[in-house]
Every structure is written in C-alpha cells, then in structure tokens.
Chains A and B, each alone.
Chain A
Amino acid sequence: MMTTPEPADGIGLFAALPEVDDEAQRRLHARLVAAANEAGVLDVAYRTVDTPLGSLLLAATDKGLVRVAYAREDHDQVLEQLAHRISPRVLRAPARLELPAREIEEYFAGRRTLFDLPLDFQLSSSFRRTVLTLLPDIAYGTTASYAALAAAAGNPKAVRAVGTACATNPLPVVVPCHRVVRSDGTVGQYIGGTDAKKSLLSLEAAA
C-alpha cells in the first residue's frame, strides 16, 4: 500500500532529495547485476537488440539462451512469463547476452549463416522439443515442409503438432522455425508474423 503521507510542511522539506536520481540508479543497477551474477542468483538475464524486424528480446539462463521474442509478443508480458515459468529473479543484464546479440546482428547483416550458442530448451517439452532440436539441421537458405519435419521427428502423422511446435518456438530466428513452410510452397504462420518470415527467407536467399 502506498499512501502519500501528509506533507511534512508547506515548503516540502524533502524536495531537495531527488525522488529519482537516474545516474545513481544506473550505477546501482550495474552493481546489482554484477553482484547477482557473482552470487549466482541472476536466474534470467535479458536485453533487447535492434534488428530490421524490430526490437528482439533475448533472455538467457546459466544454461544458455532460453527465449527470443519479437516486439509483437509484448516484451513485458514475455518477461512476466519467464518470471513465472523459470524464476522471478529476472534482471536486465546486457553484458550476459553479448554473444547472442552479436550473432543475431551478424545474422541480420547477412554475415552469419549458423548460430553457435548454448541453448536452453526448458520452455519446450517432449515432442515440441524434439522438433525444435531438428530445426538447425535445415540449412541456411533452404526450407523444409511441416510434413518432412514430422517424418524426421519419427511421427509422419504429426504434421499439425510440428506446426504447433514451430508456432510456439521460444527461440525464433536462432532456432530456424522460419525455414519450415507448407508443402504447397506458401510460407505459413510465424510467431513474428508472416511478413517477418518472408523477410528472413529472402534475407537468407540473397546471401
């Protein structure tokens, strides 16, 4: 409960003490992140990175990158989900995500065709996880059909389940669900929107 107490006096006795000191908050935030890292209590670190497809949220646990989110997924909401599903010890810690951020920038610049990052698949379970682990086998610049992927996952009938696995991919861009398309050649759904999927495919085709 935040009650504003009656003013201490007419002139605002505490007006000289800044309510928000941005410079101090930045300094203290950085110090907190460093201390939390050292103490092993920063369970989820995150940052954003600007790309031609908008701001991407990157989040990592100590096991690796755990979430990539487009702005349309609502970053605040994604962070709340991470707090709920993994741990509420969530802090903005750009330095801990320097490597994924750099690789993603290189990818969008057309200078990287393969991501070489530790990944944490804990947000996906069972069959979905199996599908996701197969996706990096689809080479840069190529595509595979949902049906082919279902067969590769050992369950040719599970075409729809493959679609769901791709649609709920917690690591878009890095785990290339955008390379999975419909058998009729149309691109199909994408967590970042169909236009984003087309952009990624043409980026890869052009490189």
Chain B
Amino acid sequence: MRREPFEKVVELHGPTVLRVCRAVLGAAAADDAWSETFLSALRAYPDLRPGSNLEAWLVTIAHRKALDQLRAEARRAVPARNLPEQPSTHQLPGGWESDLLAALKALPLKQRQTVAYHYLAGIPYADVADIVGGTAEAARRAAADGIAALRRTYAHARHDRDKEGESS
C-alpha cells in the first residue's frame, strides 16, 4: 500500500491532535504529549495497517501518552493543588483560550477526553468508546455531561463578558 510521507500526516493532523492534547492536558503539558505522540507514530508508521483512519490512530496514541503524563504527574504530585483558576485578564482571543482550558480542566477526565475526541477530532462515539473504554452510549453521555458543564461555566462567563464589552 502507498503511504503518504509522514510530513503530510503532521501537516494534516498535527493541529487537531494539538487541540485535543490541549483540551485534555492543558496548554503547557500538551506540547510534550504531542511530541511523544508524533514520535511514536513516526516509529510505527511503516507498519500501520492499510486503510487505517489516521486521525483516530493518532488520537489513540495521544490518549495513551496523556494518560502516561497524568500518571507521572500524580506520582510527582505534591500536596499543593493545581493553580487556582483565575479568570484571565487578557482580552480576546487569548483570554478565552485560557478560560476555556481552565473550564475543561475542571471537568472529570472522562468528560474531557470524550468531549475532545468527539467534538475536536470528530471521532464517532463508537470509536471514542474504543479509545476510552466502555460503551458508545457511555461515551456519548460523558461528552454530553461535559458539554453541559462547559455551557454552565465557560460559556456563561463568556456571555457575561461579551455584555461587559458591549457596554464599555
């Protein structure tokens, strides 16, 4: 089977995988997860089964790398908790990005994962379930709960701030 040069894979799927890593791990840790994902993928690429869905394959690797990182973080964990989630003082659009990442970070891991894999990478729930474990229905429910929570926290804050912006 003809395989595209890996450079094309990075070009086509790199941005989506980065979005997914950021949503699951936050901006700082996302770089490491992305790098490990693509290095692993590059190693395995010549043996990838023909006809595989590249993006789902990459997200599956990223999922494992993210779990490795979260476990390593937990091992390192000092009692000091995550940095307090302060509302960003930046203006658009950077501020919204950190607000969104903070809101995502507040979600339970399974919700963050299912939201990222389905809504950011466009992976169907049946395949999301293969990645995170459990049934497709459970994956759909976790994502729906995650979206509902994001609407309550992030979207709400955003709405209020938009109004402020209009009146100033």
Interface residues in chain A, defined as those with a beta carbon under 8 Å from any beta carbon in chain B: 1-5, 8-9, 11, 13-21, 24-25, 27-29, 31-32, 35-36, 39, 41-42, 44, 46, 79-80, 82-84, 87-92
Of chain A, the residue at the smallest CB distance from B154 is: A13
Contacting A at CB under 8 A, from B29-68, are: 31, 34-35, 38-39, 42-43, 45-46, 53, 55
**Nearest-CB residue, chain B, relative to A35:** B39
List chain A residues, Cβ under 8 A from B147: 8-9, 13
Contact of B155 among A2, A4, A11 (CB under 8 A): A11
Cβ of B18 to closest chain A Cβ, rounded Å: 6
What are 26 pairs between A and B in contact, CB < 8 Å?
A: A4-B122, A8-B119, A9-B151, A16-B97, A16-B99, A17-B19, A17-B97, A17-B100, A17-B101, A18-B19, A19-B15, A25-B14, A28-B35, A32-B42, A39-B39, A41-B43, A46-B7, A80-B4, A80-B5, A84-B2, A87-B46, A88-B6, A88-B46, A89-B6, A91-B5, A91-B7
Set of chain B residues within 8 Å of A42, measured between Cβ atoms: 42
Shortest Cβ distance from B126 into chain A, in angstroms? 11
Report the bound CA distance from A41 to B147 in whole Å.
Answer: 39
Binding site for A on B (CB under 8 A): 2-7, 10, 14-16, 18-19, 22-23, 31, 34-35, 38-39, 42-43, 45-46, 53, 55, 93, 96-97, 99-101, 118-120, 122, 124, 147, 150-151, 154-155, 158-159
Chain A nearest CB, measured from B101 CB (Å) = 8
| Total contacts A-B at CB 8 Å | 120
Contact across chains for A90 and B122 when beta carbons are under 8 A apart: no
Q: How far is the CA of A48 from the CA of B119 in the complex (A)?
A: 37
Task: Tell me which residues across on chain A come within 8 A of B42, comparing CB atoms.
Answer: 32, 36, 41-42, 89, 91
Contact of B15 among A3, A20, A35, A84 (CB under 8 A): A20
Contact status A14-B120, CB under 8 Å? yes
Are A5 and B5 interface neighbours, CB within 8 A? no
Determine whether the beta carbon of B19 is less than 8 Å from that of A28.
Answer: no
- Residues of A within 8 Å of B97, CB to CB, are 16-18
Known: A1-B53, A28-B31. A17 touches B120 (CB 8 A): yes
